[in-house]
Amino acid sequence: MIKVAVMGAAGRMGKALIQAINEDSETELTAGILEPSSTLVGADLGELAGVGKLGVLASASVEESLDAFEVLIDFTTPQTTLANAALCARSGKQLIVGTTGLNDEQKAQLVAAGQQTPIVFAPNMSVGVNLCFKLLEMAAQALGDDYDVEIVEAHHRHKVDAPSGTALGMGEAVAKALGRDLQEVAVYGREGHTGARDPKTIGFATMRVGDVVGDHTVVFGTEGERVEITHKASSRMTFAKGAVRACKWLQSKPASLYSMQDVLNLK
Protein backbone atom coordinates (compact mmCIF):
# COMPACT_ATOMS: atom_id res chain seq x y z
CA MET A 1 0.00 0.00 0.00
CA ILE A 2 1.25 3.46 -0.92
CA LYS A 3 1.05 5.82 2.06
CA VAL A 4 -0.51 9.10 0.93
CA ALA A 5 -1.02 12.49 2.62
CA VAL A 6 -3.46 15.17 1.47
CA MET A 7 -2.75 18.89 1.83
CA GLY A 8 -5.84 20.98 2.49
CA ALA A 9 -7.74 17.89 3.55
CA ALA A 10 -10.90 19.72 4.68
CA GLY A 11 -11.43 21.57 1.39
CA ARG A 12 -13.67 20.52 -1.50
CA MET A 13 -10.78 18.97 -3.41
CA GLY A 14 -9.22 17.55 -0.27
CA LYS A 15 -12.38 15.62 0.58
CA ALA A 16 -12.57 14.21 -2.94
CA LEU A 17 -8.93 13.10 -2.68
CA ILE A 18 -9.60 11.36 0.63
CA GLN A 19 -12.50 9.49 -0.95
CA ALA A 20 -10.46 8.48 -4.02
CA ILE A 21 -7.52 7.29 -1.91
CA ASN A 22 -9.85 5.33 0.36
CA GLU A 23 -11.57 3.64 -2.61
CA ASP A 24 -8.33 2.57 -4.32
CA SER A 25 -6.91 -0.85 -3.37
CA GLU A 26 -3.27 0.27 -3.71
CA THR A 27 -3.29 3.50 -1.70
CA GLU A 28 -3.81 4.27 1.97
CA LEU A 29 -4.56 7.66 3.52
CA THR A 30 -2.06 8.11 6.34
CA ALA A 31 -2.06 11.88 6.87
CA GLY A 32 -4.06 15.02 6.13
CA ILE A 33 -2.91 18.56 6.73
CA LEU A 34 -5.02 21.63 7.53
CA GLU A 35 -4.26 25.27 8.29
CA PRO A 36 -2.80 25.48 11.83
CA SER A 37 -5.67 27.81 12.81
CA SER A 38 -8.38 25.40 11.65
CA THR A 39 -10.81 24.23 14.29
CA LEU A 40 -10.84 20.84 12.52
CA VAL A 41 -7.25 19.96 13.44
CA GLY A 42 -7.43 16.64 15.29
CA ALA A 43 -10.65 15.54 13.58
CA ASP A 44 -10.93 12.16 11.89
CA LEU A 45 -10.22 12.66 8.17
CA GLY A 46 -12.69 10.00 7.08
CA GLU A 47 -15.49 11.70 8.98
CA LEU A 48 -14.51 15.06 7.44
CA ALA A 49 -14.77 13.57 3.96
CA GLY A 50 -17.97 11.65 4.66
CA VAL A 51 -16.46 8.20 4.09
CA GLY A 52 -16.66 6.95 7.68
CA LYS A 53 -14.13 6.83 10.46
CA LEU A 54 -10.59 6.05 9.23
CA GLY A 55 -8.61 6.56 12.44
CA VAL A 56 -6.36 9.14 10.77
CA LEU A 57 -6.44 12.55 12.42
CA ALA A 58 -5.96 15.91 10.71
CA SER A 59 -2.65 17.59 11.54
CA ALA A 60 -1.58 21.23 11.50
CA SER A 61 1.64 20.92 9.46
CA VAL A 62 3.39 18.74 6.92
CA GLU A 63 6.48 18.60 9.13
CA GLU A 64 4.71 16.78 11.95
CA SER A 65 3.34 14.23 9.45
CA LEU A 66 6.58 13.54 7.52
CA ASP A 67 7.09 10.07 8.94
CA ALA A 68 3.54 9.02 8.06
CA PHE A 69 3.53 9.27 4.26
CA GLU A 70 5.44 8.50 1.06
CA VAL A 71 3.51 10.78 -1.30
CA LEU A 72 1.96 14.20 -0.65
CA ILE A 73 -0.91 15.42 -2.85
CA ASP A 74 -1.22 19.22 -2.99
CA PHE A 75 -4.08 21.10 -4.71
CA THR A 76 -3.75 24.31 -2.67
CA THR A 77 -2.04 27.64 -3.44
CA PRO A 78 1.24 28.42 -5.23
CA GLN A 79 2.91 29.64 -2.02
CA THR A 80 1.90 26.57 -0.01
CA THR A 81 2.79 24.21 -2.83
CA LEU A 82 6.28 25.65 -3.29
CA ALA A 83 6.98 25.42 0.44
CA ASN A 84 5.86 21.78 0.36
CA ALA A 85 7.94 21.09 -2.76
CA ALA A 86 11.07 22.35 -1.00
CA LEU A 87 10.26 20.26 2.07
CA CYS A 88 9.59 17.12 0.01
CA ALA A 89 12.82 17.66 -1.91
CA ARG A 90 14.79 17.85 1.35
CA SER A 91 13.08 14.86 2.92
CA GLY A 92 12.86 12.57 -0.13
CA LYS A 93 9.05 12.51 -0.27
CA GLN A 94 7.21 12.21 -3.59
CA LEU A 95 4.80 14.99 -4.57
CA ILE A 96 1.68 15.28 -6.73
CA VAL A 97 0.80 18.90 -7.60
CA GLY A 98 -2.56 19.94 -8.99
CA THR A 99 -2.26 23.57 -7.90
CA THR A 100 -3.03 26.20 -10.55
CA GLY A 101 -2.02 29.84 -10.92
CA LEU A 102 1.76 29.31 -10.77
CA ASN A 103 3.82 31.84 -12.70
CA ASP A 104 6.95 31.00 -14.70
CA GLU A 105 9.28 31.69 -11.77
CA GLN A 106 7.26 29.43 -9.49
CA LYS A 107 7.17 26.67 -12.11
CA ALA A 108 10.97 26.94 -12.30
CA GLN A 109 11.10 26.31 -8.55
CA LEU A 110 9.10 23.12 -9.08
CA VAL A 111 11.55 22.06 -11.77
CA ALA A 112 14.40 22.60 -9.29
CA ALA A 113 12.62 20.55 -6.61
CA GLY A 114 12.08 17.81 -9.19
CA GLN A 115 15.83 17.43 -9.50
CA GLN A 116 15.83 16.04 -5.95
CA THR A 117 12.57 14.06 -5.74
CA PRO A 118 9.93 12.72 -8.16
CA ILE A 119 7.08 15.21 -8.76
CA VAL A 120 4.02 15.04 -11.01
CA PHE A 121 2.71 18.52 -11.84
CA ALA A 122 -0.37 19.08 -14.00
CA PRO A 123 -2.84 21.96 -14.29
CA ASN A 124 -5.53 19.29 -14.52
CA MET A 125 -5.27 15.69 -13.31
CA SER A 126 -8.29 14.46 -15.27
CA VAL A 127 -7.52 11.61 -17.65
CA GLY A 128 -10.04 13.03 -20.13
CA VAL A 129 -8.51 16.51 -20.09
CA ASN A 130 -5.04 15.13 -20.68
CA LEU A 131 -6.33 13.14 -23.62
CA CYS A 132 -7.75 16.46 -24.90
CA PHE A 133 -4.27 18.01 -24.70
CA LYS A 134 -3.05 15.33 -27.09
CA LEU A 135 -6.06 15.77 -29.39
CA LEU A 136 -5.50 19.54 -29.44
CA GLU A 137 -1.90 19.09 -30.48
CA MET A 138 -2.98 16.79 -33.31
CA ALA A 139 -5.78 19.14 -34.40
CA ALA A 140 -3.54 22.21 -34.43
CA GLN A 141 -0.90 20.43 -36.50
CA ALA A 142 -3.51 19.22 -38.99
CA LEU A 143 -5.49 22.47 -39.28
CA GLY A 144 -2.55 24.87 -39.22
CA ASP A 145 -2.58 28.65 -39.52
CA ASP A 146 -5.77 28.83 -41.60
CA TYR A 147 -7.92 28.32 -38.48
CA ASP A 148 -8.57 30.85 -35.74
CA VAL A 149 -8.25 29.51 -32.19
CA GLU A 150 -10.43 30.54 -29.25
CA ILE A 151 -10.61 28.94 -25.78
CA VAL A 152 -13.67 29.26 -23.54
CA GLU A 153 -13.68 28.04 -19.93
CA ALA A 154 -16.15 28.10 -17.04
CA HIS A 155 -15.67 27.34 -13.34
CA HIS A 156 -17.46 27.85 -10.04
CA ARG A 157 -17.72 31.25 -8.39
CA HIS A 158 -15.04 30.44 -5.79
CA LYS A 159 -12.15 29.93 -8.24
CA VAL A 160 -9.56 32.67 -7.71
CA ASP A 161 -7.38 32.49 -10.84
CA ALA A 162 -8.31 33.20 -14.46
CA PRO A 163 -7.97 31.87 -17.06
CA SER A 164 -7.84 28.43 -15.48
CA GLY A 165 -4.60 26.49 -15.48
CA THR A 166 -6.27 23.96 -17.76
CA ALA A 167 -7.26 26.64 -20.28
CA LEU A 168 -3.71 27.97 -20.28
CA GLY A 169 -2.37 24.43 -20.69
CA MET A 170 -4.65 23.95 -23.68
CA GLY A 171 -3.43 27.24 -25.14
CA GLU A 172 0.16 26.19 -24.65
CA ALA A 173 -0.47 22.84 -26.38
CA VAL A 174 -2.02 24.57 -29.39
CA ALA A 175 0.60 27.32 -29.54
CA LYS A 176 3.47 24.85 -29.39
CA ALA A 177 1.97 22.76 -32.19
CA LEU A 178 1.61 25.91 -34.31
CA GLY A 179 5.12 27.16 -33.54
CA ARG A 180 3.91 30.18 -31.58
CA ASP A 181 4.78 31.64 -28.17
CA LEU A 182 1.57 31.78 -26.11
CA GLN A 183 2.79 34.77 -24.11
CA GLU A 184 3.10 36.74 -27.33
CA VAL A 185 -0.18 35.70 -28.99
CA ALA A 186 -2.66 35.26 -26.12
CA VAL A 187 -5.61 37.67 -25.93
CA TYR A 188 -7.48 37.66 -22.60
CA GLY A 189 -10.94 39.04 -23.29
CA ARG A 190 -12.05 41.73 -25.73
CA GLU A 191 -13.90 45.01 -25.25
CA GLY A 192 -14.69 48.03 -27.37
CA HIS A 193 -13.54 48.63 -30.93
CA THR A 194 -10.88 45.93 -31.24
CA GLY A 195 -10.44 45.90 -35.01
CA ALA A 196 -10.20 42.77 -37.11
CA ARG A 197 -8.89 39.63 -35.45
CA ASP A 198 -5.15 38.99 -35.74
CA PRO A 199 -5.02 35.45 -37.22
CA LYS A 200 -2.01 34.52 -35.07
CA THR A 201 -3.74 35.24 -31.76
CA ILE A 202 -5.23 32.66 -29.39
CA GLY A 203 -8.20 34.10 -27.52
CA PHE A 204 -9.39 33.26 -24.01
CA ALA A 205 -12.84 33.83 -22.53
CA THR A 206 -13.62 33.13 -18.86
CA MET A 207 -16.85 32.53 -16.95
CA ARG A 208 -17.21 32.20 -13.18
CA VAL A 209 -20.67 31.01 -12.30
CA GLY A 210 -22.46 28.93 -9.67
CA ASP A 211 -21.02 25.50 -8.93
CA VAL A 212 -19.50 24.61 -12.32
CA VAL A 213 -16.69 22.11 -11.66
CA GLY A 214 -14.88 22.79 -14.93
CA ASP A 215 -15.88 23.23 -18.60
CA HIS A 216 -13.34 23.83 -21.38
CA THR A 217 -13.86 24.23 -25.12
CA VAL A 218 -11.22 24.97 -27.76
CA VAL A 219 -12.65 26.24 -31.04
CA PHE A 220 -10.77 26.03 -34.35
CA GLY A 221 -12.65 28.11 -36.93
CA THR A 222 -12.20 29.10 -40.55
CA GLU A 223 -14.41 30.14 -43.46
CA GLY A 224 -17.10 27.48 -43.80
CA GLU A 225 -16.44 25.25 -40.79
CA ARG A 226 -15.67 25.07 -37.09
CA VAL A 227 -14.06 22.27 -35.06
CA GLU A 228 -14.63 22.18 -31.29
CA ILE A 229 -12.91 20.00 -28.70
CA THR A 230 -14.74 20.08 -25.37
CA HIS A 231 -14.25 18.59 -21.93
CA LYS A 232 -16.79 18.94 -19.11
CA ALA A 233 -16.13 17.81 -15.56
CA SER A 234 -19.19 17.13 -13.41
CA SER A 235 -17.35 15.97 -10.28
CA ARG A 236 -14.04 16.69 -8.59
CA MET A 237 -13.59 12.93 -8.33
CA THR A 238 -12.26 12.91 -11.89
CA PHE A 239 -9.32 15.05 -10.72
CA ALA A 240 -8.90 13.06 -7.52
CA LYS A 241 -8.81 9.72 -9.33
CA GLY A 242 -6.25 11.11 -11.76
CA ALA A 243 -4.07 12.20 -8.83
CA VAL A 244 -4.28 8.71 -7.29
CA ARG A 245 -3.33 7.22 -10.65
CA ALA A 246 -0.31 9.56 -10.70
CA CYS A 247 0.65 8.41 -7.18
CA LYS A 248 0.78 4.80 -8.32
CA TRP A 249 2.66 5.60 -11.54
CA LEU A 250 5.29 7.63 -9.67
CA GLN A 251 6.52 4.71 -7.59
CA SER A 252 10.15 3.75 -8.40
CA LYS A 253 10.50 6.69 -10.82
CA PRO A 254 13.74 8.69 -10.61
CA ALA A 255 13.78 12.32 -9.46
CA SER A 256 12.32 14.59 -12.13
CA LEU A 257 9.35 16.84 -12.85
CA TYR A 258 6.71 14.80 -14.69
CA SER A 259 3.31 15.63 -16.19
CA MET A 260 0.07 13.70 -16.59
CA GLN A 261 1.10 13.23 -20.21
CA ASP A 262 3.97 11.11 -18.81
CA VAL A 263 1.62 9.26 -16.47
CA LEU A 264 -0.75 8.38 -19.34
CA ASN A 265 2.05 7.65 -21.85
CA LEU A 266 0.70 10.31 -24.21
CA LYS A 267 4.01 11.99 -25.03
- For 234-243, write each residue's pLDDT tens digit: 999 999 999 9
Residues 1-23, mean pLDDT to the nearest whole number: 96
pTM as predicted: 0.84
Catalytic residue among 159, 176, 248, 253: 159
Q: What is the pLDDT of residues 20-70, one digit of tens each?
A: 999 999 999 999 999 999 999 999 999 999 999 999 999 999 999 999 999
Task: Please report the pLDDT score of residue 34 as a whole number.
Answer: 96
pLDDT tens sequence across 124-143: 899 999 999 999 999 999 99
Q: Which of 15, 155, 216, 231 is catalytic?
A: 155
- Asked if 150 contacts 221 with a C-beta cutoff of 8 angstroms, the reply is yes
Is 155 part of the annotated catalytic residue set? yes
State residue 190 phi and psi, 5-degree precision. Answer: -135, 145
What pLDDT, on a 0 to 100 scale, did the predictor assign at position 100? 87
* 53 carries an active-site annotation: no
pLDDT band of 101, cuts 50, 70, 90: confident
CA distance readout (Å), 108 to 100, 103, 114, 194 = 14, 9, 10, 35
Flag whether pLDDT at 267 surpasses 90: no
Say yes or no to pLDDT of 123 above 90: no
Instruction: Please give the mean pLDDT across all residues of the chain.
Output: 96
Q: pLDDT digits over 70-87, tens only?
A: 999 999 999 999 999 999
pLDDT of residue 22: 97
Please give the pLDDT value at position 80. Answer: 96
Domains of the chain in start order, with CATH, are: 2-121+236-263 (3.40.50.720), 127-233 (3.30.360.10)
**Cβ distance 2 to 70 under 8 Å?**
yes
Which has more pLDDT, 256 or 266? 256
Residue 263 pLDDT > 90: yes
Q: Which letter, b or e, does each residue of 234-265 get, where b requires 16 or more Cβ atoms within 10 Å of its Cβ?
A: eebbbbbbbbbbbbebbeeeeeebbbbbbbbe
Condensed to tens digits (0 to 9), the pLDDT of residues 177-234 reads 999 999 999 999 899 999 999 999 999 999 999 999 999 999 999 999 999 999 999 9
The pLDDT score that the predictor gives to residue 243 is 97
